[in-house]
Amino acid sequence: MPFLGQDWRSPGQSWVKTADGWTRFLDEKSGGYVGDISSFRKKDDHNKENLFNSLNYDVAAKKRKKDLLNNKAKIQYFHQEKWIYVHKGSTKERHGYCTLGEAFNRLDFSSAILDSRRFNYVVRLLELIAKSQLTSLSGIAQKNYMNILEKVVQKVLEDQQNIRLIRELLQTLYTSLCTLVQRVGKSVLVGNINMWVHRMESILHWQQQLNNIQITRPAFKGTTFTDLPLCLQLNIMQRLSDGRDLVSLGQVAPDLQVLSEDRLLWKKLCQYHFTDRQIRKRLILSDKGQLDWKKMYFKLIRCYPRKEQYGDTLQLCRHCHILSWKGTDHPCTANNPETCSTSLSPQDFINLFRF
């Protein structure tokens, strides 16, 4: 072969490999056009510059990702007692580090029940878990649940307050456990069946203790509720958000019985808990042709959920996805941390960990 060991290309030509293949260019000595090779060199320099910038961007992106992971690890570590990090992702653990059981363990609910502003919130959360979320808790979380419940009962026995609220909670839990224990063959509960039978016996014992409470009238000889003017008595009764409390108050004295039947009192109670549309669907007329607001209220609570009101709630920071009690600071990196916090109802808290 004549070209073996020799450059087979014509004199004055340059072959450069490009993205489209090998391309022939003429150099200046051959009298050819230089524009092609110069434009290629400019394009090649531009590609090299883009490649360099891309490498720098990848390095910077990896560094930011590493720093972010380190910060998340620190947040998860330092927030064991007062707050927890809730990661939003697309995996099975939809909210990242925490399931409902882990969040229930990390947030200090044992201390929260000692705060009167948080007591009703924790009780409502325990009730919602008892209704539908017991099987989603781990064994440790279930044990923690029973320990918190025992502390709640002991607090009520000591203070002699919120008795009806805890009775309803215990009854809800006992009913749920009766249903779950019957399905023990499907392994819906964590632990030995005898352990759960013992817990059910504890619930019955707590119910008996609550039923045996004898509320003693304090030895107070000053001004009592009935000594106040009628307008003040009505003003105080309007602060009650549960109609059953009004009925109980009316059973104390004949004068209070008359006040507890006030139509305006029950009307405001209905308007506080329910919308106008819900009220219009459940209208009830009395014998005199007037709206019976008291009967309407008890009919409405059987059909619709009542408005929930709490002195203190859990807060979710939308910027850094941290759960904490209201008033508990966390190292938020937002410019205006106050605008990033959202109050969560007990049901909203449970919904965070559904996937």
The DSSP element (H or E) to which 12 belongs, if any, is none
The whole-number pLDDT of residue 149 equals 93
The whole-number pLDDT of residue 351 equals 86
Mean pLDDT of 254-283: 89
Confidence of residue 75 (pLDDT cuts 50, 70, 90): very low
Sign of CA dihedral 275, 280, 282, 287: positive
Mean pLDDT of 140-155: 91
Better pLDDT: 125 or 77: 125
Neighbours of 167 (CB within 10 A): 15
The DSSP element (H or E) to which 225 belongs, if any, is none
For 226-301, CATH number out of 1.20.1280.50, 3.40.50.300, 3.30.930.10, 3.30.465.10 equals 1.20.1280.50
Q: Where are the domains of the chain?
A: 97-210, 226-301
Mean pLDDT of 199-205: 93
Mean pLDDT of 133-147: 87
Q: What are 283-308's pLDDT values in tens digits?
A: 888 888 888 999 999 999 989 888 88
The whole-number pLDDT of residue 206 equals 94
The whole-number pLDDT of residue 98 equals 63
Using a 10 angstrom Cβ sphere, with 0-12 exposed, 13-18 middle and 19 or more buried, the burial of residue 54 is exposed
Q: What are 20-73's pLDDT values in tens digits?
A: 676 665 554 444 444 444 444 444 555 555 544 555 555 555 555 555 555 443
Statement: residue 203 has pLDDT above 90 = yes
Non-local (6+) Cβ contacts of 121 within 8 A are 112, 310, 311, 312, 313, 314, 346
